[in-house]
Amino acid sequence: MTSVQVAPPSPHPLGPPRILTDPPGPRSRALAARLAASEAPGVAGFEGTLPPVVWEAAAGARVRDVDGNVYVDLTAGFAVASVGHAHPRVVAAVKSQAERLLHGMGDVFPHDVRAELAARLAAQAPFDDARVYFATSGSEAVEIALKTAHLATGRPGVAAFTGGYHGLTYGALRATARAEFRAPFEAALAPPTLRLPFPDPDHPPIPASPASLAEGCLAECRARLRVAGARGALPGALIVEPVLGREGVVVPPAGWLRELAGLCRELGVLLVADEVFTGFGRTGLRFAVEADAVEPDVLVVGKALAGGLPIGAALARAEIFEVWRRDGEALHTSTFLANPLACAAGIAALDVIEDERLVERAAAWGRRRREELAALAGTRRAVGHARGVGAMWALELLDPSGAPAPAATREVMRGCRGRGVLVLAGGPSGNVLQITPPLVIEEDDWAFALEALSGALADTE
């Protein structure tokens, strides 16, 4: 009898999820205090309500804190670690690049990996003849998209949706919806944003049946754009997340985006698809616009692009980007444009997404989660809605009156953390648990996380 050799599964570099000391442990507390003594206030964790655990290491779908606790990460670090934290191919690319060239010179002296990543990205665009404009963050890539639309149309105005999140720099903030982020800066956000209703099936922004929601929202968009046009204030850009991310994981009805793209074309408004969150497989498609076969005028990416290094990009057809052509200094650039380490990491991350078939993996993951999360919503009273697609899911917590329950949501975050699972709250009221793990999450880590979620939810009842 011949014996079959099966290679034992290689051990995870961080070992199994485990809680050694109730988080945040003493070292996390000490480091958070040290940070608070020297950093501006307001930018560390959910200050005051949920003291942070301080990260020390991360690999795949697991994170270790400075007290030795190991968590399953359902955040992918703000949906960045799609290929997993510290993917060995990304790490190897960064190490080898670091020994050769750490820094280029923005728009003046480019470098080889920038040329390679630009070509690779352009080839992935969901439209022909694509060109790339690099940025150092998602927000900056949004700025480039909005500036492109301004130059191309001569119109500075921006139309954006309820629940949209596009970043917090001044330009991007014009498009971001949440009043809390905008209010202190409103006077600087001119001209006023044309706010449009996003067809949110769980919270219809207009009185409409599920069947007429998309149509009703489109009619409203058309009417508001027409009124703006009649006043001489037609926006140059209409920016949209194909699936709302940070503000609650909201999937619009099928076909809506396609109709919206048609409306933009008809009115001569540039359609900017913000895929900073959804891009590179998160929704089970390479880009979420593909669900509706939409070709946006500008596509914005960031987060997962470089497997953990900071980079963003705007993509558009060559003809659209012609508006930037000029002699002399670039009209938009920055010191760290297309940083060589980030470019090398980006090439490696794109290879991993392809070789490990992560887009298909995310789609299959989402199909498996649909029933489990619906069942959780059915058995846990606090969960008002479970929704999502691919590796992008949400549990929306409501109190018995049906109102958002942000305090209970923070308790569930805390409860999950105590059980070895990191999960983030999002949504305009902070009452939506976002389940956006690395696309490489293993089934046993997910089973562990689901049990923790269920237990933490039970504790709130």
The contact set with ligand PMP (CB under 6 A) reads 78, 137-139, 142, 165-167, 241, 245-246, 274, 276-277, 302
CB within 8 Å of 221: residues ≥ 6 apart: 159, 196, 197, 260, 263
Pick 60 or 138: Cβ nearer ligand PMP: 138
Spatial distance between the Cα atoms of 63 and 54, rounded to a whole number of angstroms: 10
Residue nearest to ligand PMP (CB): 138
Pick 216 or 284: Cβ nearer ligand PMP: 284
Pick 67 or 73: Cβ nearer ligand PMP: 73
CA 394 to chain centre: 13
Q: How far is the CB of 275 from ligand PMP (least distance, A)?
A: 7
Closest to 167 measured CA to CA, from 281, 260, 301: 301
H or E element, residue 312: strand 312-317
Pick 19 or 160: Cβ nearer ligand PMP: 160
Closest to 398 measured CA to CA, from 413, 382, 411: 382
Q: How far is the CB of 424 from ligand PMP (least distance, A)?
A: 11
Pick 276 or 421: Cβ nearer ligand PMP: 276
Pick 74 or 456: Cβ nearer ligand PMP: 74
Pick 249 or 450: Cβ nearer ligand PMP: 249
DSSP string, 237-291: EEEE-SSB-TTT-BPPPTTHHHHHHHHHHHHTPEEEEE-TTTTTTTTSSSSGGGG
Token match 């558009």: residue? 316
Q: How far is the CB of 233 from ligand PMP (least distance, A)?
A: 24
Q: How far is the CB of 274 from ligand PMP (least distance, A)?
A: 5
Q: How far is the CB of 150 from ligand PMP (least distance, A)?
A: 18
Q: How far is the CB of 171 from ligand PMP (least distance, A)?
A: 11
Q: How far is the CB of 335 from ligand PMP (least distance, A)?
A: 17
DSSP string, 3-22: PPP-PPPPPPTT-S-B-SSP
Spatial distance between the Cα atoms of 69 and 56, rounded to a whole number of angstroms: 10
CB within 8 Å of 211: residues ≥ 6 apart: none
* 250 within 8 A of 198, measured Cβ to Cβ: yes
On the 0-12 / 13-18 / 19+ scale of CB atoms within 10 A, 45 is middle
